[in-house]
Amino acid sequence: MDELSERLARLEPLAQKSRAEFDADPYLRDIVERNLEIAAQCCIDICHRIIALELAEKPRDYYEAILRLGELGVLPLAFARKLAPLAGFRNILVHEYIGIDWDEVYRNLHQLDDISRFSDFIRQWLSDRAGRTNPKEDPTA
């Protein structure tokens, strides 16, 4: 969660850049691309960790991992469906780095609210889960 927050903090001021500034500055594009990739990976890693903690069925892929959090009630299902394409975007950034679609990168830079909402939902789930766990009854405590 800390890493995700850090990446969002780095990206938020960059979202204020105009499309012309974005297109003209390869260093800016690289910074945005890398931070979006890591933010997406953080979301996916968090999904997998929660799935493991909940002893839920292992997802087939990253897209399904995000959907699984909707099924588990960690995320609203409609929001999980909206966020799930982030997994495919992450895969493109990692595997198709030669043919990056900068329109897609710029579009995702302006959808940081979805990643922030994801973070808020996870924090709420963690808070609720902590409230449900009684340390005297938890043999791992």
The confidence band for 97, taking pLDDT boundaries of 50, 70 and 90, is: low
Provide the sign of the torsion angle of the four alpha carbons 111, 116, 120, 121, taken in this order: positive
Of 89, 88, 114, 100, nearest to 4 by C-alpha is 114
Among 10-19, 39-48, 127-136, name the one with the lowest average pLDDT: 127-136
Residue 141 lies in a domain: no
C-alpha span between 84 and 105 (Å, rounded)? 16
Residue 87 lies in a domain: yes
Residue 136 lies in a domain: no
pLDDT of res. 139 = 45
Domain total for the chain? 1
Residue 81 lies in a domain: yes
- 117-135 burial, b at 16+ Cβ within 10 Å, e below that, comes to ebbebbeebeeeeeeeeee
What pTM did the predictor assign? Answer: 0.88
Domain that holds residue 74: 2-129
pLDDT of res. 134 = 55
The confidence band for 34, taking pLDDT boundaries of 50, 70 and 90, is: very high
